[in-house]
Amino acid sequence: MKFDHSVKIAPSILSADFANFGAEIQAVEAQGADWIHVDVMDGHFVPNITFGPATCAAIRPHIKTVMDVHLMIAPVDPYIEAFAAAGADIITAHVEAGPHIHRTLQAIRATGAKAGLALNPGTPAEVAAPLLDMVDLICVMTVNPGFGGQKFIHSCVQKVTELREMIGDREVHIEIDGGVDQSTAPLVVAAGADVLVAGSAVFRGGSVSNPATYGDNIRAIRNAV
């Protein structure tokens, strides 16, 4: 993974057909996806359960771009090596998920994966300040984590602006997760984001048998920014 500031679209497989993940991933990549975003939820840190390292390992051979694994789980540390072994290129942990985020980021980097730090909507940007030299990505949640299809929280745009100023010339991506579509994408990109996680906005109306719609949706977001 080479760092660059170009806008990247990362479809979230949370909105894909769970029974057909491999084909869904191949379809969205063929239609222009830059990364594949994998939302891992535990029913404890967030009120939903999705999948774990075994699923990540199963879909890894189908991902030719970047496997971006977002851990919405607590505790995080006991599972880092398993997700790294499953092939995650980026492992993102929530600052709110445990008392020792510095140790968590160290553990992620020790596996060779890129380290991401996620901030919930109610967590201020300044929490990330002491950690900027330890992260490769900051994920700004623009909905409360746990479910897809929620409405974008507009007050989070200012957080993106603050983070971009704090990051300066460091090679750190700002990722937006939640409510990204043609109307909200331009707001966060203008504020400094460069990775856009989109679930329903990419997968809506399409299917493995009708993948062109995925391409239309991806291009619509990209053209909007």
pLDDT recorded at residue 195: 98
Segments of the chain with pLDDT less than 70:
none
Task: Give dist(CA 176, CA 156) in Å, integer.
Answer: 10
Reported for 128-131, long-range contacts at CB under 8 A and 24+ positions apart, including other chains, are 128/95, 128/163, 128/166, 129/166, 130/102, 131/95, 131/101, 131/102, 131/105
The pTM assigned to this predicted structure is 0.97
pLDDT tens string 23-82: 999 999 999 999 999 999 999 999 999 999 999 999 999 999 999 999 999 999 999 999
Reported for 17-20, long-range contacts at CB under 8 A and 24+ positions apart, including other chains, are 17/207, 17/208, 20/208
| Residues with catalytic function | 39, 177
